[in-house]
Amino acid sequence: FLDMDKFKLLNDTLGHHHGDIMLVEVANRLKFSVREADSVARIGGDEFVLLLEKVGESINEASQKAALVAEKIRAALAVPYHILNHVHHSTPSIGVRLFGADDNSVEDLLKHADAAMYEAKNGGRNQVRFFDPDLQKVLESRAAMEADLRRALDAGQLQLHYQPQCDVERRVIGVEALIRWLHPERGLIPPLEFIPIAEESSLILDIGCWVLNTACRQLAEWQKQPSMRHLQVAINVSAHQFNTHDFIKSVQTAISAHGVDATALKLELTETVIVNDVEAVKAKMLVLKAFGVKLSLDDFGTGYSSLAYLKQLPLDQLKIDRSFVRDIATDPSDEVMVKAIIDMANNFHLQVIAEGVETGEQLNFLKLHGCEAFQGYLFGRPVPASDLNFMVEG
């Protein structure tokens, strides 16, 4: 299992065909690293599966050979990519699983290779990891966490914090609702530790519904307060949730149940929403737009997004991912990327907001290139609703 980090398919974004060229280059490097009889498959975005047959006579020989091949592939993919006068870097993470006695199905094989790949990522990327039986324990603890999380939802242990979004004058124009889990023993658990687990089951739908209703209840409160009634509230919607049949209905129900002005509600969607059926996604978006709801494309630039798709979608906003903002002052390719995103947003008459703004230097760069909305620690961290009043009223 192989995942390319920072492998941004830059198609269109830079006005050339960086993404396609990079993809061909990756495919070539993979092809030259394995034998003719081996299989290489791209399973989506920047993830690949390689199947090497008959790597050795014994388990020992097979694992040694697999380690050699994996290391060879890692090294080959880590060499910088020179594409149309730009240099792109990538740090692949590789997980290896030998098809042995313990896996009795192809599903297990893939699941274990995937788990090893996540270990490689967590271990700092640009690494090769073998599946370790101890990882089985990790898988089990994830299952336990899922059960815990379901109870947490019922027991009211989930909370929303709100992070300010500001304009060029540093006025708070809106907030993003970000979920937290207040665990009785472990304290405040950040979403990246439990949302991915929830995403693997229908739990994400229940959580998503809770978020929608909790944010609308809060929005209704704010809309009663003169100093807060101008705020936009953005919530994160998982692709899984967006693609359910009753998503539209759940949004409509939340809006009317809490009596909120829907034009203040913004949904942050990621590119994963639109990889499938663009027409269906577009139709859904148009219904939401008709309610007055705003749509923002989150984590923009990190996935496979083709401009051809984007142009068709009724979006209001593009959100520049914080991985680009972080390095704008030091990484020339991120600088190019950020400029391109802002230009593109302007051409499409989309508002652009940058997330993860931490320094005055980053802010100045963004302002200079025409970005007009910002979110990040420079303006304020996510806080409970009650603490937000002070930030807005100054």
Residues near ligand C2E, by CB under 6 A: 163, 178-179, 190-192, 195, 211, 236, 238, 298-299, 322, 355-358, 375-377, 382
Name beta bridge partners: 353.
319, 373
Which CB sits closer to Ca ion, 46 or 148?
A: 46
Q: How far apart are CA 279 and CA 267, in angstroms?
A: 19
Q: Which residues contact 274 (CB under 8 A, 6 or more apart)?
A: 281, 305, 309, 313
Which CB sits closer to Ca ion, 148 or 268?
A: 268
CB 134 within 8 A of CB 154: no
CB 318 within 8 A of CB 352: yes
Binding site partner of 358, from Ca ion, ligand C2E, none, Cβ cut-off 5-8 A by kind:
ligand C2E
- Report in angstroms how near the CB of residue 236 gets to Ca ion at its nearest: 5
Of residues 45-64, those binding Ca ion (CB under 5 A): 46
Binding site partner of 46, from Ca ion, ligand C2E, none, Cβ cut-off 5-8 A by kind:
Ca ion
Tokens 């941004």 locate to 8
Q: What is the DSSP letter of 297?
A: E
CB 64 within 8 A of CB 52: no
Which CB sits closer to ligand C2E, 1 or 242?
A: 242
Instruction: Of 29, 149, 13, 140, give the one whose Cα is nearest residue 82.
Output: 29
Q: How far apart are CA 199 and CA 195, in angstroms?
A: 6
Binding site partner of 190, from Ca ion, ligand C2E, none, Cβ cut-off 5-8 A by kind:
ligand C2E
Binding site partner of 37, from Ca ion, ligand C2E, none, Cβ cut-off 5-8 A by kind:
none
Q: How far apart are CA 213 and CA 150, in angstroms?
A: 17
- Report in angstroms how near the CB of residue 195 gets to ligand C2E at its nearest: 5
Q: Which residues contact 305 (CB under 8 A, 6 or more apart)?
A: 9, 13, 271, 274, 297
> Which regions of 301-369 does DSSP assign to beta strands (E)?
317-320, 351-354
Which CB sits closer to ligand C2E, 56 or 356?
A: 356
Which residue in 114, 148, 271, 321 binds Ca ion (CB under 5 A)? Answer: 321
- Angle formed by the axes of helices 332-347 and 360-368, nearest 10°: 40
Binding site partner of 228, from ligand C2E, Ca ion, none, Cβ cut-off 5-8 A by kind:
none
Binding site partner of 3, from ligand C2E, Ca ion, none, Cβ cut-off 5-8 A by kind:
Ca ion
Strand, helix or coil at 330? coil
Q: Where are the alpha helices (DSSP H) in 178-232?
A: 195-199, 203-224
Binding site partner of 352, from ligand C2E, Ca ion, none, Cβ cut-off 5-8 A by kind:
none
Which CB sits closer to Ca ion, 12 or 271?
A: 271
- Report in angstroms how near the CB of residue 388 gets to ligand C2E at its nearest: 14
- The phi-psi region of residue 126 (left if phi > 0; otherwise alpha if psi is between -120 and 50; otherwise beta) is left
Any idea what the Cα angle at residue 177 is, between residues 174 and 178, rounded to 5°? 140
- Report in angstroms how near the CB of residue 217 gets to ligand C2E at its nearest: 14
Which CB sits closer to ligand C2E, 177 or 228?
A: 177
- Report in angstroms how near the CB of residue 224 gets to Ca ion at its nearest: 26
Binding site partner of 33, from ligand C2E, Ca ion, none, Cβ cut-off 5-8 A by kind:
none
| Most distant pair of Cα atoms in the chain: their distance | 75
- Report in angstroms how near the CB of residue 328 gets to ligand C2E at its nearest: 13
Which CB sits closer to ligand C2E, 190 or 370?
A: 190
Binding of residue 236 to Ca ion (CB under 5 A): yes
Choices 8-16, 194-202, 297-305, 364-372; region in contact with Ca ion by CB under 5 A: 297-305
Of residues 255-294, those binding Ca ion (CB under 5 A): 268
356-393 burial, b for 16+ CB within 10 Å, e for fewer? bbeeeebbebbeebebbbbbbeebbebbebeebeebbe
Binding of residue 3 to Ca ion (CB under 5 A): yes
Which CB sits closer to Ca ion, 119 or 321?
A: 321
Binding site partner of 179, from ligand C2E, Ca ion, none, Cβ cut-off 5-8 A by kind:
ligand C2E
Which residue in 12, 119, 148, 298 binds Ca ion (CB under 5 A)? Answer: 298
Between the two ends of the chain, the Cα-to-Cα distance in Å is: 50
Summarize as ranges the residues that interact with Ca ion (CB under 5 A).
3, 46, 236, 268, 298-299, 321
